[in-house]
Structure formats: structure tokens, C-alpha cells
Amino acid sequence: MNLYHLARPALFLLDPEKAHDYTLQSLNYAHRLNILPFLAGPIPNHPTKLCGLNLPNPVGLAAGLDKDGKYIDALATLGFGFLEIGTVTPLAQSGNPKPRMFRLNDSMAIINRMGFNNDGVDACVERVRASRFYQSGGVIGLNIGKNASTPIEEAVNDYVTCLRKVYDVASYITINISSPNTKNLRQLQSGQSLRKLLNDIHKERKALVQYHSKNTPIFLKIAPDLEGDDIREICDALVEFQIDALIATNTTTSREYVDQERYRKEAGGLSGKPLKKQSTQTVKAFAKLLEGAIPIIGVGGIMTGSDALEKFHAGAQAIQLYSGLIYRGPNLVKDCILASESVTFDKY
């Protein structure tokens, strides 16, 4: 997979969204030719338990890279212990106007304002069911959100709709209320909005457990731009409404550490290396307050195996990658798995 470093200069000449699509299509093509295992090489094994799920290793793919489940089998070949697909919404939507993704190369960062562009939840569920990775028992999380046209006061209806549709097929379900690219979405992270959402999810889940005879874990994904009171409020709600795990974090609206970058003033969420410190501090703050009540999946700014180790030492039981893959390529997966081998995880 060092071939990626040869291809990256050419890819970086393309518009970032076009490069993203081209890379995934090329990966899919290599998968169909059955050459990915040869290119990826042997994958280290570090079995991990997470919310009752058996993972071959604690390094996952973050939501956003494969929004529609079109590349599941190709991505699984790269060695991820689990994949998270989405964000999906009840209805298909095109997302925000282009251009909506920007590279900040000197900072090894990305700004995106994609806006939950996806083919809709039904199409995604069909692709998940059709994938060999799913059929062979691979762990696939489905990340769900609300349509842009749905008023924030009615957002809970979109989440419940998606919950019903993905419940049977998903290994776990992530409630995404932390993207900065859907208007007012982050309002759902606090106060009565948070409590109403999680209460309705909790009640619907009880009905789905009975109907499907299956208890699918539910995760909550939060932003790094939270104050102390917000963090305490979320911790209380996680426990009260029996959320199974926390994903920390989504992208940030902060532009700290990227003052010199050409695209620093573009609207959207910042990810990549500049997010590492803020994300890790958020993991640490939640771990301190939760005291092991639920596991934390650490995301944000992981560019090396050492960065992954920082997340584990901060309190994460698993990690997810996205922007680091753009700058480092698929070898980052293996580096992070190897780093995780020095960590002993609690049994969740």
C-alpha cells in the first residue's frame, strides 16, 4: 500500500471531492480484481470486545468516508476491525452546494461542509445486506441523521424513522447530532432537545428489541466544541437513556492552528491533525466523568500509531480513522492496530 504515496501527488491535484470518489472507485476496482489482499499485506490481529461485538481489532473506519455503503467489501480488506457507514437520512438528498471539501495540506487537515449527501436509508440498507462483509459476520455500524428539510423541532421523527429501518441490519447504530453542516443540528446536544431525542430513541428501541428479538447497541456521536456543563449533561443523559457507547468526536468549527492556510475561512467542520488535541481532551473529559460506565470510541486527528495510542491512554476503547487515511493512506490502519497491541482494554 506504499503505492498510495506514489499516487497521492496526482490525487492532490484534483478537486478533493473528485479525488475522494476516484480513490474509492479505484479501491473497488482493485478489490474486484482480488489484488487488495496482496497490496495490503498481512493484517495484525488484536481481538477486542465492544458492546458485546467481537472485533478482530479496535481500529474502525469513521462515518463519512463511505456514506452509502458502496465500498464496504473493498474497505474491509484494508484491515479495519469495524466499519461505520453513513450518515444516512430518511430521504435521499444532495447535500450542500459544491465546492464543499477543502484540503489544508500544510496542516494535514480537511474542511468539509458536505451536508449529509446520501442516497437515503433504504438504498444503504440494501447495499449493506448485499455485501460479503456483512454476510460473513463483519461489524458494520450505521450512522443516522436528519434531512436538511426537516425542521429541527421535528428532527426526532427522522432519527426514529432511520432507527427502524437500520435496526435489523446494523451491528450498531450511531445517532449523529454533532455535524456542523446541517443547520441547527448541534442544538440537539443539550437541554430538553437532547433529553427528548434520547428518550424517544430509548422508547423506540424497546419496541424494536421485542419485534426483532435483537438488542442492537446504540452509540451517540458528539462534537469536540463542548463546554464543561454540556459534557456533564451529556454524560448524565447517556447513562439515563442507556446509550451503549460514545463516539468522540466529530469535526470542529474551531480554526486554531490553521491560521496560515488558504482555506481557513471556509465554512464547515475541520478534521485532521489540528483536531487531535481537542478531540483527545474531549475523550479524556468524558472518560473521567463516565468512570467506565460506557465505552468511548476516539476519533479525530489520528495520523500515526502514536496518535492512536494517545486516544487509548485518554480513555478510548476503540478508535476510528478518516482524514488520516487521506494523508497517510491505508498503511495507517496497520500502524494503529500495532499501536493498540500495547493496550489492555476493559471488557465491554
Q: Cα(15)–Cα(221) distance, rounded to whole angstroms?
A: 28
Q: Show me where the domains of the chain are located.
A: 41-340
Mean pLDDT calculated for residue range 47-76: 97
Q: Cα(15)–Cα(20) distance, rounded to whole angstroms?
A: 9
> Is the backbone peptide bond immediately before 249 cis, with ω within 30 degrees of 0?
yes
Which of 91, 137, 138, 139 lies closest to 117 in space, CA to CA? 91
**CATH class as words, domain 41-340:** alpha beta
Cell digits of residue 200: 424517544
Q: pLDDT tens across 209-249, in order?
A: 999 999 999 999 999 999 889 999 999 999 999 999 999 99
Position 120 scores a pLDDT of 98
Catalytic residue among 179, 279, 323, 340: 179
Q: pLDDT tens across 266-280, in order?
A: 999 999 999 999 999
Q: pLDDT tens across 141-152, in order?
A: 999 999 999 999
Neighbours of 189 (CB within 10 A): 21
Q: pLDDT tens across 100-153, in order?
A: 999 999 999 999 999 999 999 999 999 999 999 999 999 999 999 999 999 999
Active site residue 213: no
Q: Cα(139)–Cα(118) distance, rounded to whole angstroms?
A: 21
